[in-house]
Amino acid sequence: MDEDAPQNGQNSAHIKRGAKEVLAVIRRHWIALDKGLIFLCIGVLAVAGGLKLGAKSEILLLVGSFFGLLFFGQFVSWWFSIIILSNSGLEIISQKGLFRRGVVDIPYESIMNTNYSTKGLVQAALGFGTIVIQTQSGDIVLEKIRKPAKVHSLVTANYNKFRGFDE
């Protein structure tokens, strides 16, 4: 695997999709599951507390299922929200819950500038941050991206290669 290529949930395999060649698949950091993890913890605590207090098993099953479904919806949103970096640009797929999906295609021609930032001790320690892609039609903000410096350099290198600049 290339040293600059994203890893762990980010695939750098070269795959051809028609005229497009997929260079990397980038997923948000696991910290983006914050709401889902809260739902999971509340569900576990509610079931454990119910067991300690002797609640009926049907009620515990209902409470556990409810919080489990809330976690599952958040997990599906996180897992299927990806950024595909290809030889022609970026494709940003945003999954919202189980049934809503948005897709934004950003060709390299429309990218004017890219930058990234990490804010605070938590983002620096856990290795995630925000990438901003400035296009002709507005800014695209990608939050909670794992290893933003590596992702930024990968996008910039491919943008420069597309434009004909050698690094």
At 9, is the pLDDT very low, low, confident or very high (cuts 50, 70, 90)? Answer: very low
- For 62, the domain range is 34-75
Task: Tell me: do 96 and 23 sit in the same domain.
Answer: yes
Share of the chain above pLDDT 70, in %: 88
Task: Tell me: do 61 and 40 sit in the same domain.
Answer: yes
Domain count along the chain: 2
At 6, is the pLDDT very low, low, confident or very high (cuts 50, 70, 90)? Answer: very low
Please tell me the predicted confidence (pLDDT) of residue 166.
64
Q: Is residue 105 part of a domain?
A: yes
Task: Tell me: do 40 and 86 sit in the same domain.
Answer: no
Indicate the pTM of the whole model.
0.75
Q: Is residue 8 part of a domain?
A: no
Task: Tell me: do 97 and 137 sit in the same domain.
Answer: yes
Task: Tell me: do 71 and 148 sit in the same domain.
Answer: no
CA dihedral 155, 156, 159, 164 (to 10 degrees): -150
pLDDT at 14 over 90: no
